[in-house]
Amino acid sequence: MTETSLPERSLPFSRWFGSHEARHGDREPRARAVIVLLVLATVTVMLFSLATGPIAVPVLDIVPHFPAYFLSSIEGAPEGVSLRDWIVVMDIRLPRVTLGALVGAALAVSGAVMQGLFRNPLADPGIVGVSAGAGLGAACFIVLGNTLLAPAMALLGIYAVPLAAFAGGLITTLLLYRIGTRGGITSVATLLLAGIALGALTGAMTGLLVYVADDQELRDLQFWGLGSLAGSNWEKVLSAAPIILLMLVCVPFLARGLNALTLGEAAASHIGIRVQRLKNLSIVLVAAATGASVAVSGGIGFVGIVVPHLLRLTIGPDHRYLLPASALLGACLLIAADTLARTIVVPAEMPIGIITAFAGAPFFLWILLRKRGLMGL
């Protein structure tokens, strides 16, 4: 039985994601062009962010010295660059921009993978409670790292918080999938309600940790509510980068399986996709990337739902192009949002989660209103 012979109501997700071969074959040239444009846009936004702030920096004079800085660990400013500008870029802004790119890419790709896995456009690590679970895992080590969890903290070092966040995100994702899926079919309504419930539960447990935390731990936990890249440094980058980069390298190999899942799990199995292995790998990668992101930036919402949906409208649903494009657009948008967050209320700094919520919440409502008939909500 082909997809077209099935009742339309039986595959509502196919009208969201479609079949690449049947409906979007003509979008491949556009998808390649969009990816090239996104590469250029991301580089441009990164340079603009490095140059922008309370202190204007001639960043194009500093960029040529990047390779020497990373390969030979030069000390002091190179010839022709002021020490002030060198410190501002290399020690303050470049770690922050790098971390923003990693976190934005991780959240956007995680959203795209979850939407393909659950076969609905409302799945997102922040909305369905995965980010809250990751935050709980990280909060446990922040508050208890000097007492109950001191041995694990000493053993894992700078990777303790990202790994704890990964564990929290993984457990939450597994519970969410277990609750929201029945008979191989994922209910959107159940998914959202389960995400709200799990988010509330993990939020309450995080609140309990906040209650028993001391002043220093409270300051460390403060940014969890709305998310921020403030205080970014190379240590944070090194703690999150291996996990996020591993995820970004692995997810392109899931593209064929995620494309096949648009027709349902049975159809995907018939064409040779190992569906259960695909599910397990997808869940682990999303949990790892979300956990690492939450550990270093707190809870930044709506990136994972806005970015993949915008790209589907532009380049189609083929995950071969959707996943790399999501990584680029997610990085670009989060760097831009962070630049706005740290310049709009100078000398103070606005939490980046406020900006992403202002942009993402109306877009989320628009998705619900536009597609509620198709989803039966």
* Distance from the first to the final alpha carbon of the chain: 28
Find the Cα–Cα–Cα–Cα dihedral 339, 358, 103, 59, rounded to 10°. -10
| Residue 48 tokens, joined | 């603009």
With a cut of 60, say whether residue 250 has pLDDT above it: yes
Confidence of residue 299 (pLDDT cuts 50, 70, 90): confident
Q: Amino acid letter at 195?
A: G
Model's pTM, two decimal places? 0.83
* Contact partners, residue 130, CB within 8 Å, separation at least 6: 110, 114, 169, 172, 173, 176, 195, 286, 287, 290
| Residue 289 tokens, joined | 């990337």
| Residue 180 tokens, joined | 């929201």
User: In whole angstroms, what is the distance from residue 259 CA to residue 203 CA?
Assistant: 34
With a cut of 60, say whether residue 376 has pLDDT above it: no
Backbone angle region of 53, left / alpha / beta, with phi > 0 → left and psi within -120 to 50 → alpha: left
Phi then psi for 226, rounded to 5 degrees?
-115, -10
Q: Amino acid letter at 254?
A: L
- Element housing 345 (H / E): none
| Residue 66 tokens, joined | 């990047």
User: In whole angstroms, what is the distance from residue 106 CA to residue 317 CA?
Assistant: 19
Confidence of residue 225 (pLDDT cuts 50, 70, 90): low
Burial class (CB in 10 A: 0-12, 13-18, 19+), 90: buried
User: In whole angstroms, what is the distance from residue 181 CA to residue 178 CA?
Assistant: 6
Mean of pLDDT over the chain: 82
User: In whole angstroms, what is the distance from residue 52 CA to residue 59 CA?
Assistant: 9
CA distances from 237 to 60, 135, 243, 269 (A): 23, 18, 10, 39
User: In whole angstroms, what is the distance from residue 256 CA to residue 358 CA?
Assistant: 34
User: In whole angstroms, what is the distance from residue 132 CA to residue 287 CA?
Assistant: 11
- 8 Å CB contact between 284 and 166: no
Burial of 227-265, coded b for 16+ CB within 10 Å and e otherwise, reads bbbbebeeebbebbbebbeebbeebeebbbbbbbbbbbb
Range with the largest mean pLDDT of 90-94, 166-170, 183-187: 90-94
User: In whole angstroms, what is the distance from residue 12 CA to residue 371 CA?
Assistant: 10
Q: Summarize pLDDT for 78-88 with one digit per residue, the tens.
A: 877 888 888 89
In this prediction, residue 15 carries a pLDDT of: 45
- Element housing 182 (H / E): strand 181-182
CA distances from 231 to 67, 154, 200, 296, 349 (A): 24, 22, 28, 9, 11
Q: Amino acid letter at 222?
A: Q
Burial class (CB in 10 A: 0-12, 13-18, 19+), 359: middle
CA distances from 98 to 187, 229, 232 (A): 37, 10, 9
Q: Amino acid letter at 231?
A: G
Q: Summarize pLDDT for 156-176 with one digit per residue, the tens.
A: 887 788 788 888 888 888 888
Confidence of residue 14 (pLDDT cuts 50, 70, 90): very low
Q: Summarize pLDDT for 251-269 with one digit per residue, the tens.
A: 999 999 999 988 888 888 8
Phi then psi for 75, rounded to 5 degrees?
-110, 140
Q: Summarize pLDDT for 34-72 with one digit per residue, the tens.
A: 999 999 999 999 999 999 988 888 888 888 888 877 777
CATH architecture of 10-375: Orthogonal Bundle (1.10)
